[in-house]
Amino acid sequence: MNKPKKIRRGESDSLVIEWENGKTTEISYVDLRDKCPCVSCQGETVLFSSYIPIKNPFKPVGFYEIEKIEPVGNYAVNIVWKDQHNTGLYSWDYLWEISRIDKEKT
């Protein structure tokens, strides 16, 4: 499995991740937050009904700012945002996927 060797803050509100496979990817805090994998951000499909989260156009202070990043076991990080949102668990696979896409766009 591809794992990050190092995660650091980039120069422009972004996260730079150095991977064991030698690649470096970067993702902006905005993309990172918009792609928060938790249920309240992304919704959940339960049997035949799906819960679609309400997109609130109002972003609280600190919505796109990172308070801290905590490692979870050896497979993910938990990102605590400055608006106190802390339920998003970003697995290595997921981080790789979203940061790689972000990199390829630019």
- Catalog residues that contact Zn ion under the rule CB under 5 A: 36, 38, 41, 88
Cα–Cα distance list, 17 to 8, 24, 46, 85 (Å):
6, 6, 33, 22
Compute the least distance from the CB of residue 79 to Zn ion, in Å. Answer: 9
Residue 72: other Cβ atoms inside 10 A: 11
Select 26 or 83, whichever has its Cβ closest to Zn ion. 83
Select 2 or 40, whichever has its Cβ closest to Zn ion. 40
Compute the least distance from the CB of residue 21 to Zn ion, in Å. Answer: 27
